[in-house]
Amino acid sequence: MIEADPGWSAVISVRLPREAVADWLERALRPEAAREVPRAHAEVRRAGPDTVEIALTARDTGSVRAAMNTYLGWVHLALATVARAAPPTEPPRYDPGGGRSPKPL
């Protein structure tokens, strides 16, 4: 657990394209923030409908840097997962005939 005056703090603000993605990111990060992390504390909160903030506090610069790297990695992983899982905006351009017209049956 850390003292009342941790000494160092940082806020990561992530603005997202849609409120639904912000909801998903907040739900993905909240369990991590609730866990006890050595020498650091994190709070996940909403700064707006499409913005998630991660407030970090730590006793020393090394701890706040490590916490920032950890949370930035989780944000990157979560958003990469959303991007891969999202349906494409247009059908894939796969042509099994290699550009040739299909043969009649």
- Show the domain range for 53: 8-83
Average pLDDT of adjacent 10-residue blocks, the chain of 105 residues: 69 94 94 84 95 95 93 93 75 49 47
Q: What is the pLDDT of residue 88?
A: 65
Looking at the domain assignment, is residue 100 inside a domain? Answer: no
Query: What total of structural domains would you count in the chain?
Result: 1
Looking at the domain assignment, is residue 105 inside a domain? Answer: no
Q: What is the pLDDT of residue 27?
A: 94
Q: What is the pLDDT of residue 75?
A: 94
Query: CA–CA separation, 63 vs 92, rounded Å?
Result: 45
pTM > 0.85: yes or no: no
One-letter identity of residue 78: A
Looking at the domain assignment, is residue 92 inside a domain? Answer: no
Question: What is the domain-level CATH number for residue 61?
Answer: 3.30.310.50
Looking at the domain assignment, is residue 62 inside a domain? Answer: yes
Looking at the domain assignment, is residue 53 inside a domain? Answer: yes
Q: Starting at the earlier edge strand, list the strands of the sheet with 8-15.
A: 8-15, 51-58, 40-48
Q: What is the pLDDT of residue 84?
A: 84
